[in-house]
Amino acid sequence: MVTDIPEKEILDNIADLFKAFADPTRVHILFCLADREECVGKIAEVLGLSQSAVSHQLRILKQLHLIKYRREGKNLWYSLADDHVRTILRMGLEHVLE
């Protein structure tokens, strides 16, 4: 049980983190990146969305430190920021499947 309540700023950051998971498109993108790097075009193809729509969601995920990217020439390759994100996805999936 959590007994020490974090400061308001930290609570706000936690709420923002969970807001990112409240959007099905963002969750779908995170699952696309769970095992591999992908470029915007491939993510857009998998989700059936425009590259512009996917780029918008990637920007939000990047601002929340849920994904990272690397540049290869003119292309950006996206992946999950760290194993914490993978754990959140896995735990969410386990929870809804119970």
Task: Report the CATH number that the domain containing residue 57 is assigned in CATH.
Answer: 1.10.10.10
> Per the domain annotation, does 33 fall within a domain?
yes
Q: Assess if residue 2 is contained within a domain.
A: no
Total domains, the chain: 1
The pLDDT tens digits for 7-61 are 999 999 999 999 999 999 999 999 999 999 999 999 999 999 999 999 999 999 9
The stretch 55-73 carries a mean pLDDT of 96
Q: What is the mean pLDDT of residues 57-76?
A: 96
Locus of tokens 């700023």: 9
Residue 68: inside a domain, yes or no?
Answer: yes
Confidence band of 2 (pLDDT split at 50, 70, 90):
low
Residue 81 belongs to domain spanning? 8-97
- Band (pLDDT 50/70/90 cuts) for residue 3 is confident
Mean pLDDT over 63-68 rounds to: 96
What are 16's two structure tokens?
Answer: 């923002």
DSSP class per residue in 38-51: EEHHHHHHHHT--H
* Domain annotation covers residue 87: yes
Q: At what angle do helices 24-32 and 40-47 cross, to 10 degrees?
A: 120
- The per-residue pLDDT for 1 is 63
33 with 79: CB under 8 angstroms? yes
The answer to whether residue 1 sits within a structural domain is no
Burial of 62 (0-12, 13-18, 19+ CB in 10 A): middle
